[in-house]
Amino acid sequence: MAFSRRGVLVGALAGGGLALGYVLRPRSYPLPLPARDGEFAFDAWIRIGTDGVVTVSVPQVEMGQGVTTLIPQIVAHELGADWRQVAVEPAPVSGHYANLALAAKWAPLWMPLPALAPVVAATPASLVTRRWAEGEAFTVTADGTEIAAYEGAARAAAACARAMLAQAAAARWDVAWEECEVAGGFVRHEGKRLPFGPLVEEAAALSPPSTPPLRAEPMAERPGEFPPGAALAYPRLDLPSKVDGSFVFAADVRLPGMVYAAIRHGPIGRKTFVSDADEAAVKGMPGFLHIVRSEEGEAAWIAAVATDGWTAEQALTRMEPGFKVAGGVETDAVEAAMNEALHKADAHRIHSAGDLSLVKGGMPVQRGYEVAPALHVTIETTAATAWFRGGRLELWIGTQAPEATRQAVARALGLNVRDIVLYPVGIGGSFDRRLEFGHAVEAARIARAVDRPVQLTWSRREEFRAGLPRAPVIAVMAARPDTEGGVAGWRARITVPATAREFGRRLFHHDAPFDAIEAAANEADPMALEGAVPPYAIPNLAIDHVPVRIGLPTARMRGNAHGWTAFFNESFVDELAHKAGREPLSYRMAMLGGDPRLAGCLQRVAALSQWGGGGDASGQGIACHRIGEGRIAVVVSARRDAEGVRVERVSAVADVGRIVNLDIARQQIEGGLVFGLGLALGCSVRYAGGRPDAERLVSMGLPTLADCPAMDVEFIESREDPADPGELGVAAIAPALANALFSATGLRLRRLPFFAEDV
């Protein structure tokens, strides 16, 4: 059946089942951040003060990725501002800041009929996407979409403000404004100059140009311009406050009369109850105030409220609350379900090409790989501060999904969403953990019960107990070599829960975790297999998804599906190269004629790392991967010693298109490599009775500073559109390490994480 956008919309409305027409109504929004005294607003992005300070609104949460520098940097460049006069402020939830890039990518998750997403909501330019995202105030921070979503709007606002400042100065000098130059915080013309401050009131009274007069070149930093030790042109705006401790995270919020809450969660199961708690044990305890409990929904919890956090924790310890659980998660049952689905369940074909008869049935080379569930292990544990007063709830929280958080709290309290005021604060590392918002509901309920501002903080143990892990995955990779040892046919059969669908049900449809599992069961989930199509020119291939219901709710994590598909693909390619007696680098290069950018990364990383071929027990391993328009190639040098695996050096070369801030891009690649190293060597848990077998950081096998290898990171200069560097390193490090360990030991590791007993 052929679809047209008009036919879909008209037909849906006529049938009454899908009121998409509603999202086509025009909307307008008040200015999200009104100007303060001495300030003048230029669109929703920029306010300029009479003192010359330029304040940029940033609608994405700062969680280490540097967004509170990147967007102001784009504005400063386009506006012609002095970086020393630029300030940043979190933007409130508003349709003005809809993340259209992410809304289009996630359209299969939010549309009532996911099959229609490629027809009516496939691009940010889609009218359906725009109206839905604006109406839902969809400002979610995820998938590295900040530049793609906001660079255009921020540049346009800055270009118009620059023109208006130039017009104000030109009127004073009686010259044409087009002859004026704006740079370094001044408007200049033939030796005359005026700073922004004295001009801003006159400029704000003018009408902005109908077409933003954008500069010829967008903001870009070229790798060759910043040799080692060179001064940064745009230092991070958030760095000084993070160094001196004044940067506000969720646990740093302080309010008058505020009290503190600690919490205990029931096991992960279909239904849990608080079975007992010795409340008499805390009566008369100095500083203890209240007990608040909840048995609504799937998970029960009990919280103690006190005048300080230590007393609240001690109160729960004294009470020793117990829980009853129905259907508590068991790792043995999860593994059994995965293995049964792998061998018996029907698969959904996600992608195919070429002659499929060459990828049917048994194939000459088959290998199995596994990925275990893993926890996020964020630096900052969950925290939120809530104050219920006058029928409204104020919430101070670090969240990647602010509007969804407001909606969840409103439903829990029976309020209108407009009565939920959310104050965004920074996040101390999220890795997509803060796309979940159950703790906001907990804090809100506790605040209403105690009638005082309350700060809820989860202990590390509760973070592990109640946090949802990355999904487990099993893959069977099969190949048919050609007569020269290359790949004539490739098939991947990947067994994984419909984890992206589950997440979408929780975020957009308000399902509880186990309800989301039921709703997504047996659905094909292409987002759970992102990156499974290899970047190589393989003529005949098939990618199959085997969805499985495992009884364990799963969540997004940094790298997401690329974290396992890159491991499967690059480990398997390495095995094929060795089976063919070919050198791993040249084997890959022979198949990359269709992707010269990725081939360039491989060639350059080989030179950077002094690649020796990966043979003769060198301990070198190579891998490459592509995420969207971003490419990376990694070489790891590793060895095994008496203490386990020792990664000595990591060399990486990335092509992420035009780079806005080179220093932040390097930080993101390095951070991703270290994060991926942690996933490769630890972060995994097993469950018994719904409880994880690890509750402390020390048991996670995380790399310490002393364990982190020397890193060489370089970028290929490019004029392509910017790509996010934040997840490339996460995806590529595990297969590179696996291949390095094979080179060093002759042992092929096919399960993540690489447990000590395996090496």
AA letter at 509: H
627 domain residue, yes or no: yes
Question: Are the CB atoms for 369 and 567 separated by under 8 Å?
Answer: yes
The total number of residues shown for the chain amounts to 759
Same domain, 664 and 734: yes
| pLDDT tens profile 64-98 | 999 999 999 999 999 999 999 999 999 999 999 99
AA letter at 714: E
Q: Which residue, 425, 457, 489, sits at the end of a domain?
A: 457
**Strands of 186-189's sheet, edge to edge?**
181-183, 186-189, 192-195
What are 505's two structure tokens? 């049900």
In sequence order, what are the residues at sequence separation of 6 or more whose Cβ sits closer than 8 angstroms to the Cβ of residue 569? 477, 492, 531, 532, 534, 625, 735
**Average pLDDT over every residue of 444-461:** 97
67: left (phi over 0), alpha (psi -120 to 50) or beta: alpha
Sign of the Cα pseudo-torsion (280, 281, 287, 293, in order) = negative
237 domain residue, yes or no: no
What are 209's two structure tokens? 């140009």
| pLDDT tens profile 733-759 | 999 999 999 999 899 999 999 974 444
Supply φ then ψ for residue 418, to 5 degrees. -70, -15
The owner of tokens 């074909």 is 349
pLDDT band at residue 28 under the 50/70/90 scheme: low
Q: Which residue, 433, 457, 481, sits at the end of a domain?
A: 457
What are 548's two structure tokens? 């499985």
Sign of the Cα pseudo-torsion (316, 320, 321, 324, in order) = positive
Question: How is residue 183 annotated by DSSP?
Answer: E
Same domain, 284 and 400: yes
- Residue 102 confidence (pLDDT) above 80: yes
Return d(Cα 374, Cα 681) in angstroms, integer: 11
**Average pLDDT over every residue of 549-570:** 98
pLDDT band at residue 116 under the 50/70/90 scheme: confident
Supply φ then ψ for residue 104, to 5 degrees. -70, -45
Same domain, 292 and 394: yes
- Residue 617 confidence (pLDDT) above 90: no
CB atoms within 10 A of CB 453: 20
Same domain, 146 and 276: no
Q: Which residue, 170, 189, 204, sits at the end of a domain?
A: 204
| pLDDT tens profile 505-553 | 999 999 999 999 999 988 999 999 999 999 999 999 999 999 999 999 9
Same domain, 537 and 637: yes
28 domain residue, yes or no: yes
The number of domains in the chain is 3
Q: What is the CA radius of gyration of the chain?
A: 27
Can you give the pLDDT at residue 748? 94
pLDDT band at residue 27 under the 50/70/90 scheme: low
SS (H, E, C) 430-456: CCCHHHCCHHHHHHHHHHHHHCCCEEE
CB atoms within 10 A of CB 582: 16
223 domain residue, yes or no: no
244 domain residue, yes or no: no
Give the domain CATH number at 91.
3.30.365.10
Q: Average model confidence (pLDDT) for the chain?
A: 93
- Structural domain boundaries enclosing 681: 345-374+470-758
Same domain, 595 and 643: yes
488 domain residue, yes or no: yes
Angle at 591 between CA 588 and CA 596, to 5 degrees: 90
Q: Helix (H) and strand (E) counts for the chain?
A: 21, 28
Torsion of CA 317, 323, 329, 332, to 10 degrees: 80
| pLDDT tens profile 323-354 | 999 999 999 999 999 999 999 999 999 999 99
| pLDDT tens profile 435-450 | 999 999 999 999 999 9
517: left (phi over 0), alpha (psi -120 to 50) or beta: alpha
Same domain, 191 and 74: yes
Same domain, 396 and 528: no
Question: Are the CB atoms for 543 and 494 separated by under 8 Å?
Answer: yes
Supply φ then ψ for residue 627, to 5 degrees. -125, 110
Return d(Cα 602, Cα 613) in angstroms, integer: 13
224 domain residue, yes or no: no
Same domain, 165 and 196: yes
284: left (phi over 0), alpha (psi -120 to 50) or beta: left
Q: Where are the beta strands (DSSP E) in 582-709?
A: 620-627, 630-641, 644-655, 687-688, 691-692
Q: Are strands 259-265 and 383-389 parallel, antiparallel or unpaired?
A: unpaired
Return d(Cα 570, Cα 369) in angstroms, integer: 11
In angstroms, the Cα distances linking 346 to 95, 392, 496 are 42, 50, 13
225 domain residue, yes or no: no
Same domain, 487 and 447: no
| pLDDT tens profile 154-189 | 999 999 999 999 999 999 999 999 999 999 999 999
pTM over 0.85: yes
Angle at 502 between CA 297 and CA 693, to 5 degrees: 70
Same domain, 281 and 178: no
Same domain, 622 and 661: yes
